[in-house]
């Protein structure tokens, strides 16, 4: 049985958790599934292209706010479709203009994009809607949230496996190695990068939409929390961004660690998060997946 088949079988087994326990373990499962979707979606784009994006919170917040605005007036599947469509549209609008950037310039822009969207939503809420946030009254249970996140993760993993075997995946790896060479061999680098950036953003927006009913109240600070972008980045880096299942190896330990740190050291969480980031970069630069691959190649 391949690793992917094993993980998909494990997800199918984990789908029975809400039938056995609807308290702490279900809440923990939702948290882990959320980060698993976001980290895997992040690595789908940033892994092969080596473009470090800090826009996760932007697309996650777009999905969450779409539910806050439309959740009571449209059927749930339509709300999810709209949230995904808005996420893709925004990614396309900014993608063609920004994916020509590279290195630190792209990192700074994506971080600024998340902050820009947060400020625009805040301005709209205060000056147009006359409020700071919105209440979320959607008839979606915690179990349904959990199952939808598992479904998103399963689709994302299958799509990622197909992508790695496709011409698009090959083009992305060439771009990651040397974008100039990719252009010389006929790869339309702009279109390829934008296409994958939009695909990654779609799953981030859907994750935000699925998670929104978990909160009774949403405001821009909650939906567009910049800390989320850094947490997802660290999880993906720890697990390994070059392997399909790599991000999952970083999600489980770090999601649990972040829960402990936020509960016990809420005033120092940002400092501790930075320390974890430095430790991950220096101790396992290729991630756990890269470390395991090196150990397998080492002669006995």
Give the three-class secondary structure for 134: strand
CA atoms within 13 A on the CB side of 27: 6
CA dist 2 and 150 (Å) reads: 19
**Residue pointed to by tokens 């990622």:** 160
Here the tokens at position 131 are 């409020």
pLDDT at 297 (0 to 100):
66
CA dist 48 and 172 (Å) reads: 6
Q: Is the pLDDT of residue 300 over 60?
A: no
Q: Using one digit for the tens of pLDDT, what is the confidence trace for 49-89?
A: 888 889 999 999 999 999 999 988 899 999 999 999 999 99
Q: Is the pLDDT of residue 1 over 60?
A: no
pTM reported for the whole predicted model: 0.91
Q: Using one digit for the tens of pLDDT, what is the confidence trace for 144-180?
A: 999 999 999 999 999 998 888 888 777 877 877 777 7
Give the three-class secondary structure for 106: helix
CA distances (Å), origin 69, targets 80, 113, 137, 139, 209: 12, 21, 10, 14, 11
Q: Using one digit for the tens of pLDDT, what is the confidence trace for 84-135?
A: 999 999 999 887 777 676 677 888 888 888 889 999 999 988 888 888 888 8
CB 40, CB 248: distance < 8 Å: yes
Q: Using one digit for the tens of pLDDT, what is the confidence trace for 219-240?
A: 888 889 988 999 999 999 888 8
Q: Is the pLDDT of residue 5 over 90?
A: no
């Amino acid at each position: 049985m391949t690793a992917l088949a094993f993980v998909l079988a494990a997800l199918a087994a984990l789908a029975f958790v809400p039938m056995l326990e609807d308290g702490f373990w279900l809440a923990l499962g939702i948290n882990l599934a959320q980060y698993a979707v976001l980290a895997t979606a992040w690595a789908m784009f940033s892994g092969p292209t080596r473009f470090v994006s800090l826009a996760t919170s932007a697309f996650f917040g777009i999905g969450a706010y779409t539910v806050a605005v439309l959740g009571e007036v449209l059927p749930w599947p339509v709300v999810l479709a709209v949230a995904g469509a808005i996420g893709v549209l925004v990614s396309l609008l900014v993608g063609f203009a920004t994916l020509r950037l590279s290195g630190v310039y792209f990192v700074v822009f994506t971080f600024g994009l998340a902050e820009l969207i947060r400020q625009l939503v805040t301005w709209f809420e205060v000056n147009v809607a006359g409020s700071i946030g919105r209440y979320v009254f959607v008839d979606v249970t915690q179990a349904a949230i959990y199952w939808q996140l598992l479904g998103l993760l399963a689709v994302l993993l299958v799509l990622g496996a197909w992508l790695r075997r496709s011409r698009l995946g090959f083009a992305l790896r060439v771009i990651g190695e040397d974008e100039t060479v990719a252009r010389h061999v006929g790869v339309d680098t702009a279109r390829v990068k934008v296409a994958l950036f939009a695909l990654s953003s779609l799953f981030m927006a859907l994750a935000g939409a699925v998670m929104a009913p978990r909160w009774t109240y949403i405001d821009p600070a909650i939906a567009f929390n910049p800390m989320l972008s850094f947490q997802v980045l660290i999880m993906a880096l720890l697990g390994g961004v070059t392997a399909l299942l790599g991000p999952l190896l970083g999600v489980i330990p770090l999601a649990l660690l972040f829960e402990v740190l936020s509960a016990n050291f809420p005033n120092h969480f940002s400092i501790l998060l930075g320390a974890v980031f430095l430790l991950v970069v220096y101790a396992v630069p290729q991630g756990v997946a890269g470390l395991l691959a090196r150990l397998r190649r080492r002669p006995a």
